[in-house]
Amino acid sequence: MRALVTGGAGFIGSHIVQRLADTGHDVVVLDNFLTGKRENLAGISGVRIVEDDVRDPKAVEASAAGCEVIFHEAAIVSVPSSVERPQESHDVNIQGTLNVLQAARVARVRRVVFASSAAIYGEEPTLPKVESMRPEPISPYGVEKITSEHYLATWSKLFGVETVALRYFNVFGPRQDPSSPYSGVISVFVDRVLAGKPITFFGDGTQSRDFVFVGNVVDANILAATKRGVSGGVFNIACGARTTLVELATLIERAAGRTVARSVAPARAGDIKDSVADIDRARAELGYAPKVDVEDGLRQLVDHVRASR
């Protein structure tokens, strides 16, 4: 098949591109290279790269032509940046999704698989998070992801575009960029531990997340693109296990074979306290199973970062 991957030069997108290309599919990448990197696609053959923006409907429409599936990964992925610059986040994360759905309609794309987020659960205190819970986002980012999900479900009902939303929990792995103040915590901690630099907990470090290795997320995307009878669905994608930041730091230190100093700083605005997924629906309906657990994933990541230095 031919697939479009928006944000295909980014962290998660590039891993999806790699899997598709490795399994013989034609891939079109649409990326504005603001956070995506050409080096993330180096050595992957059979990929057409379009340098343009999901905010431009014409660019999305042109990239979608002839594609059977769109994996919509392009986004501003940071909760705090959505709090600081909500308009920009809105434009990319909501208008971008609408443009993808419109392009899918015009280009007669069979299915759109969307990168949604655990951030949609927000303040809902019950753990684990189940898809049937009422979304209560506490950040613009969470609002943008749940709004996008509503657009997907509506396009599927109104126009017959098949859609699947995958609610990613905290994804980590090679190619996640540690260099921005908004970078994912694992990329930052691994980078700092390997460099022997101190790490900081925003809050007291007792907050918890369901960290999921990127390879598992790629598996989920392939299933979501191909499984029959799941259109209009939303699925948690995680490991179903909860790790506090303090535990995470210790696991990373163990994988790296060294310890570093730890400090605390004020908690971030819009931050949720605890997050862990119920993944029964994804298991039952998509056939998803996380093959790599957090410790294995951390070991793979530490080895990768060490080798690439």
Residue closer to ligand UD1, measured from CB, 21 or 214? 214
Residue closer to ligand UD1, measured from CB, 25 or 242? 242
Q: Is 211 a residue that touches ligand UD1 (CB under 6 A)? A: no
Interface segment toward ligand UD1; rule CB under 6 A; list 28-36, 60-68, 200-208, 281-289? 200-208
Tokens of 18: 């790699």
Question: Do residues 168 and 13 lie in contact, with contact meaning Cβ atoms separated by under 8 Å?
Answer: no
Tokens of 5: 């991957």
Cis peptide before 80 (omega within 30 of 0): no
* Interactions with ligand UD1, residue window 234-293 (CB under 6 A): 245, 268, 271, 275
Catalytic (active-site) positions: 141
Contact string 76-105 vs ligand UD1 (x = CB under 6 A): -xxx--------------------------
The C-alpha atoms of residue 99 and residue 66 are separated, in whole angstroms, by 16
Helix-helix angle 245-256:185-194, to 10 degrees: 40
Number of residues that bind ligand UD1 (CB under 6 A): 23
34 Cβ neighbours under 8 A, 6+ residues apart: none
| Strands 47-51 vs 26-31: parallel, antiparallel or unpaired | parallel
Phi, psi of 225 (to 5 degrees): -80, -25
Query: Among 173, 184, 215, 233, which residue interacts with ligand UD1 (rule: CB under 6 A)?
Result: 184
Residue closer to ligand UD1, measured from CB, 99 or 275? 275
Residue closer to ligand UD1, measured from CB, 154 or 200? 200
The enclosing H or E element of 240 equals none
Query: Among 71, 201, 213, 235, which residue interacts with ligand UD1 (rule: CB under 6 A)?
Result: 201
- What are the residues binding ligand UD1 (CB under 6 A)? 77-79, 117-119, 168-170, 182-185, 188, 200-202, 207, 209, 245, 268, 271, 275
